[in-house]
Amino acid sequence: MVMIIVWKQRVTTAVAFLLFFGSIEVLYISASLIKVPEGGWIPLVLSMIFMGIMYIWNYGTLKKHQFDVENRVSMKRLVALGPSLGMVRVPGIGLVYTNLVTGVPAIFGHFVTNLPAFHQVLVFVCVKSVQVPYVNEGERFLIGRVGPKEYSMFRCIVRYGYKDLQQENYDFENRLVSGIVHFVEMEEECMLARTMKPSSEFSMSDIEGLDVLGPTFTFPHQEENMVRSLSDIQEVKSQVGLVESSQLKDESLRILKARESGVAYVLGHSYAKAKKSSSFIKKFAINFIYAFLSKNCRGPDVVLNVPHTSLLEVGMVYYV
């Protein structure tokens, strides 16, 4: 599957690879089976143990993702809270890490339920690995808006290739803020282009239908439904003769002032527990093995070099 999907090899090449190395594996397995009374059972048992560990990790991860999807905060509920989100908005930027690329994560709802204040600018950050070796720096961030404009809530999908290495001196905060400011300016200019150009001459189809890998943006009130690329927006901008993007708007200034106030990282710390009605084997697998693996798994705070002085962890328990 890796050879066909990721490496883009022919099916015949993948089948030949499978037959060649599969025959070698069959020889090793048969040799172990023949010598089971003499100690050949040891590699078989070790293989079963490692296979069981991988299965438990995969099962627990899928259940966690299912929990996150089913417990997302609805946009209607978020809009009903108002621009203040039902609490005090303090200066600064809050980065909420989530595995979801759509919707508001449950960790955010759990956070605002227990604390009466949150940051002036909210950014939901999702780190994803893509099926390419390397991701260019200009294609690293996918930035969009969550909810109405006055909420100052954004989403950023950070993409890494399977060969990309995170550098210790990578200035993630400044690059992210710069990308958000750029998005805000391009968004306002594109919205202005729609109002300045007569409807008979301009439609959103002017910038639709292009399959691009560059930085993409989502527009307000239409989250995840209308994606535009930076190159497309700049083309529309040049057609109507809009102002230079270097002229900062009011929202851009607010974001930069919030950056000066500080950046806080909010990470969800999920704890998986088996239901009381579960069998003993499932309880042992989830409550002990998967919990041990999760505790020793490298999190996004390590990947993105999150400073410990700015880190907030919010604990949640989900039952599988």
Note the pLDDT of residue 93. Answer: 92
Identify which of 222, 233, 232, 139 has the alpha carbon closest to the alpha carbon of residue 184.
233
The model's confidence at residue 217, banded by pLDDT at 50, 70 and 90, is very low
Cβ-Cβ contacts under 8 Å for 256 (sequence gap 6 or more):
177, 181, 248
Residues 94-130 have pLDDT tens digits of 888 888 888 788 887 777 777 777 788 989 988 888 8
The model's confidence at residue 225, banded by pLDDT at 50, 70 and 90, is very low
Q: Provide the H-helix boundaries in 198-264.
A: 230-240, 250-261
Q: What single-letter DSSP state applies at residue 104? A: B
For residue 86, the number of C-alpha atoms closer than 13 Å in the C-beta half-sphere is 12
Note the pLDDT of residue 54. Answer: 94
Percent of the chain with pLDDT over 70: 75
The chain-wide mean pLDDT, for the chain, equals 76
Distance CA 288, CA 170 (A): 36
Distance CA 283, CA 193 (A): 58
Residues 79-95 have pLDDT tens digits of 666 666 666 788 899 88
Q: How many residues does the chain have?
A: 320
Residues 21-49 have pLDDT tens digits of 999 999 988 888 888 888 888 888 998 99
Which position has the higher pLDDT, 88 or 157?
157
The model scores a pTM over 0.75: no
The model's confidence at residue 213, banded by pLDDT at 50, 70 and 90, is very low
Q: Where are the domains of the chain?
A: 1-37, 39-194+248-319
